[in-house]
């Protein structure tokens, strides 16, 4: 007996919590047992496999309606799911009858269109196009007035008006500066949680960046810090870092930011052999403090399966003794010194001075940050920092996009 799982007068649920605007209507659906060919009102033609459709239905035999997580186990079906019939109902949904289950399932046209893998150019493309940037004396980081952030309700349009461009800057350029935020100690945690959970480390949930007696990191002194990423000593070094200025009245201590991806691409162009060496040789990263002992081995430049830049791990003061194969040692050091020289080129760097209330959010696996030395007796310099994962900012950005789609669907 064929099962009707949702009324044909309304669009069916989707297998997620998102809203999917209908950009075009389904005009026809031609079927073979294992394939559906959909023709849309704007001329696009999309093909969907029967097994893909069966697994991605939004009904309660496929997903738990309370969680939208899949409960269907394809291997428990009585046979390979095939399509016996197809029609487009009055609501515009695609209705398919599957055998051998003899079940009729409906598919939301907006969701189908958005997940059209037959026409997808790159389903793994970044949420925001990656933009490489150089520095120089006239360069400035993206800055936004965030004075109303904590006065807005979480998830409100006012909050998203601040967060949306900030998240886009971090996803696309690797960093953003929010200005005019509170300067109370601990307020960073409240701000950060507007994006997502904080990642604790041995330095705490929040850490104070200021000169102090008996420091356990060079960051907690007044000396200059070379361009680096934080915590490369971890298997998964944090994807995001936030630095929030609470006080800054010292002489010196100018902040420096470099796009590590731009430097890496310049190295690839100038010296392909050095670039290849730094993507191949595993360096030792070590933080052997009095109470902890973190060690990890990794290339300085990591690429994904397609050869695109994935992350950089650069921190001279956190490198342990190189343990590479004997024949790679001199080549590895030659490549390292070439990179070190490039990191000193002023054309890669953005320089700025933190003002109280500034919060800089940056991709810790892409951006390099540094600091000039400052005179510790000339005033006070106090930043609070925390870490987060790239996943959190991507999730928050998708939620902002979802809210926009919900508004578009509601206005339809």
With b for 16 or more beta-carbon neighbours within 10 A and e for fewer, the 303-326 pattern comes to eeeeeebebbbbbeebbeeeebee
Domain locations in the chain as residue ranges: 26-123, 143-399
Domain 143-399 has CATH 3.30.460.80: no
The predicted model scores a pTM of 0.89
CB 365 within 8 A of CB 312: yes
Q: Tell me if residue 170 falls in helix, strand or coil.
A: helix
CB 260 within 8 A of CB 229: yes
d(CA 243, CA 356): 11
d(CA 375, CA 377): 6
d(CA 74, CA 287): 47
Place of tokens 């000593």: 233
CATH fold of 26-123, please? NE0471 N-terminal domain-like (3.30.2020)
Instruction: Write out residues in the chain with pLDDT < 50, as ranges.
Output: 1-5, 411-412
d(CA 179, CA 352): 13
All residues at 6 or more sequence positions from 388 whose CB lies less than 8 Å from its CB, including other chains: 192, 195, 196, 197, 198, 199, 238, 239, 240, 241, 242
Pairing of strands 143-145, 240-248: unpaired
pLDDT value, residue 357:
97
What are the tokens at 302?
Answer: 């990591």
Give me the DSSP letters along 323-357: ---GGGHHHHHHHHHHHHHHHT-GGGEEEE---TT
Question: What distance lies between CA 173 and its chain's CA centroid?
Answer: 11
36 membership: H or E segment, kind and range: strand 35-40
């Amino acid at each position: 007996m064929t099962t009707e799982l949702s009324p044909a007068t309304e669009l069916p649920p989707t297998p997620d919590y998102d809203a999917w605007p209908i950009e075009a209507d389904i005009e026809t659906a031609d079927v073979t047992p294992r394939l559906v060919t959909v023709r849309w009102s704007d001329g696009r033609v999309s093909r969907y496999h029967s097994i893909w459709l069966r697994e991605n239905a939004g009904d309660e035999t496929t997903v738990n309606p309370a969680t939208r997580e899949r409960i269907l186990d394809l291997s428990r079906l009585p046979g390979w799911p095939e399509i016996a019939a197809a029609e487009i109902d009055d609501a515009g949904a695609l209705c398919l009858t599957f055998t051998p289950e003899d079940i009729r399932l409906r598919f939301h046209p907006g969701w189908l269109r958005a997940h059209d893998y037959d026409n997808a150019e790159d389903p793994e493309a970044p949420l925001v196009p990656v933009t490489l940037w150089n520095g120089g004396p006239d360069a400035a980081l993206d800055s936004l007035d965030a004075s109303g952030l904590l006065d807005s309700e979480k998830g409100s349009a006012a909050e998203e008006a601040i967060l949306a461009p900030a998240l886009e800057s971090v996803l696309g350029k690797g960093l953003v500066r929010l200005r005019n935020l509170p300067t109370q100690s601990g307020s960073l945690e409240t701000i950060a949680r507007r994006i997502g959970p904080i990642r604790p480390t041995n330095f705490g949930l929040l850490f104070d960046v200021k000169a102090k007696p008996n420091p356990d990191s060079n960051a907690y002194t007044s000396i200059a810090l070379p361009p680096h990423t934080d915590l490369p000593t971890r298997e998964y070094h944090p994807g995001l870092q936030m630095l929030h200025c609470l006080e800054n009245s010292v002489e010196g201590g100018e902040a420096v930011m470099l796009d590590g991806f731009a430097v890496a691409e310049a190295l690839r162009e100038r010296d392909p052999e050095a670039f290849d060496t730094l993507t191949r040789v595993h360096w030792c990263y070590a933080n052997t403090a009095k109470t902890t002992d973190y060690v990890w081995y990794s290339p300085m430049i990591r690429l994904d399966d397609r050869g695109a830049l994935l992350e950089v791990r650069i921190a001279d003061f956190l490198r342990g003794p190189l343990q590479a194969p004997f024949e790679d040692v001199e080549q590895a050091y030659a490549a390292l010194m070439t990179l070190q020289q490039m990191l000193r080129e002023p054309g890669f760097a953005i320089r700025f001075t933190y003002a109280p209330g500034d919060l800089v959010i940056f991709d810790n696996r892409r951006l390099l940050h540094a600091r000039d030395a400052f005179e510790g007796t000339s005033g006070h310099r106090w930043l609070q920092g925390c870490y987060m994962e790239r996943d959190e900012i991507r999730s928050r950005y998708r939620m902002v996009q979802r809210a926009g789609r919900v508004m578009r669907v509601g206005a339809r």
